[in-house]
Amino acid sequence: MWRRGADLDGYVANFVETEQILRSNGFTASFVQVRGSIPLLWEQIVDLTYKPSFQIVRPEDGPKVAERHFFDLGKKYGSVLAVDLINKHGSEGRLGERFANAMQPILSDNIRYVQFDFHKICGHIHFERLSLLYDQIEDYLKNHRYFLLDMKREKVEEQTGVVRTNCIDCLDRTNVTQSMIGRKMLERQLNKIGIFNANDTIGAFPFFDASFKILWANHGDDISIQYSGTPALKGDFVRCGNRTIEGIVKDLWNASARYYLNNFADGTKQDAIDLLQGHYIASVSRDLASPVQPGGLEAFASMKLASALVLTGLVFAMISLRRARNDWRHLLLSLVWAGLTVGIGAFVKANGKTFTNRPRLLKSRH
């Protein structure tokens, strides 16, 4: 979560270009999609809550940043269709409204924007309702096609536009949606080169269908592991075609793992990335950026210590409560321990940002 949104130049976090390639009967076909964080200046600072609130940074620069981002996409890919999968309500809805407003001035024949509330429409199990989204973008996919070389290595079709999909992390909802689009375009390509008849679908060929699902599920897991530290959520639908009990249990486990990594590991990981990519340059010169040294409460805040104190308070509260049968003074003592435990918990919650693992390296000015 330490990398969200875009920078002033319009480059976004978790930008991934995916090219689906088919080779068969001498033909070579491909279809390109991209994903990336919402191209505004925003952040989501971890604070021990499961879903930290979104903060818009320098909102006056948002439209310019979005314009730069889509101008760059246009130079690379031609036409761009932005598919926004975030919720229309709550904090996601407010961020989505900012995104929609930033898109309005730049909409044109070459830049389209579609908002699709994935969670409201599909819920947690009805992903087949993505057909409603496909109905909205089918004309775009038909008009901008895909890339195809025939047996003579001559270009038969050319892709003239790209679908840019985003949710909040650009992982789970995005994976499901991109795999649906990839499936539809692959069916078009197979029909074009004569392997499929007009009404054939990938689902009619079980082995091929299973291979396609595994391909996209592994692809989604690789992106998710790099960005969040865990495999993708909702991967059972991509891998199996429907939600399963095992998949839901895995999602709960991965969601818990993401919570831990977000709050207690990703700050150090971000420092390593910044150091590796040259955003922070180590130097003996004092004029260059230097690690941020924690001060005040942050210098002493320790989640391990706080957890140990809470656990100790609970244990002593229970021991005192059991002894209260013989001596009422132990009842008061148990209340003291319980109060201390609740107080520590409330203090940690109120100062959640201080107890998280934060990046310590400043970016170099050079």
Task: Give the pLDDT score at 327.
Answer: 75
> Same structural domain for residues 20 and 153?
yes
- The pLDDT of 43-50, averaged and rounded, is 89
Band of residue 365 on the pLDDT scale cut at 50, 70, 90: very low
Q: In this structure, is residue 116 part of a structural domain?
A: yes
Q: Domain range for residue 169?
A: 16-199
The count of residues in the chain is: 366
Task: Give the pLDDT score at 350.
Answer: 81
Task: Give the pLDDT score at 75.
Answer: 96
> Same structural domain for residues 160 and 307?
no
* pLDDT tens sequence across 134-162: 999 999 999 999 999 999 999 999 999 99
> Same structural domain for residues 186 and 313?
no
Average pLDDT along the chain: 89
Q: In this structure, is residue 273 part of a structural domain?
A: no
* pLDDT tens sequence across 260-276: 999 899 989 999 988 88
Cβ distance 341 to 310 under 8 Å? yes
Q: In this structure, is residue 281 part of a structural domain?
A: no
Whether the predicted pLDDT of 12 surpasses 50: yes
* pLDDT tens sequence across 68-82: 999 999 999 999 999
Q: In this structure, is residue 121 part of a structural domain?
A: yes
Band of residue 364 on the pLDDT scale cut at 50, 70, 90: very low
Residue 347 burial by Cβ neighbours in a 10 Å radius (0-12, 13-18, 19+): middle
Whether the predicted pLDDT of 361 surpasses 50: yes
Band of residue 366 on the pLDDT scale cut at 50, 70, 90: very low
> Same structural domain for residues 194 and 45?
yes
- The pLDDT of 4-18, averaged and rounded, is 95
Task: Give the pLDDT score at 223.
Answer: 95
Cβ distance 91 to 81 under 8 Å? no
Task: Give the pLDDT score at 65.
Answer: 96
Distance CA 197, CA 93 (A): 42
> Same structural domain for residues 38 and 176?
yes
* Range from 169-178, 296-305, 330-339 that averages highest in pLDDT: 169-178
> Same structural domain for residues 323 and 176?
no
Residues with Cβ within 8 Å of 347's Cβ and at least 6 positions away in sequence, in order, are 306
Q: In this structure, is residue 68 part of a structural domain?
A: yes
DSSP-assigned letters across all residues of 287-318? TS--PPPP-THHHH--HHHHHHHHHHHHHHHH
Give the CA-trace dihedral at 94, 99, 105, 111, to 10 degrees: -140
* pLDDT tens sequence across 233-263: 888 778 877 778 888 888 899 999 999 999 8
Helix, strand, or coil here: 218? helix
Helix, strand, or coil here: 28? strand
Closest of 89, 78, 168, 183 to residue 127, by C-alpha: 183
Predicted structure pTM score: 0.85
* pLDDT tens sequence across 331-353: 888 888 888 888 888 888 888 78
Residue at a domain's end among 148, 170, 199: 199
Residue at a domain's end among 139, 173, 199: 199
CA distances from 18 to 118, 141, 161, 302, 305 (A): 21, 16, 14, 41, 44
Q: In this structure, is residue 264 part of a structural domain?
A: no
Q: What are the structure tokens assigned to 278, written together?
A: 């040259």
Domains contained in the chain, number: 2
Residues with Cβ within 8 Å of 225's Cβ and at least 6 positions away in sequence, in order, are 231
Q: In this structure, is residue 7 part of a structural domain?
A: no
Task: Give the pLDDT score at 147.
Answer: 98
Q: In this structure, is residue 115 part of a structural domain?
A: yes
Task: Give the pLDDT score at 331.
Answer: 82
Residue at a domain's end among 180, 199, 218: 199
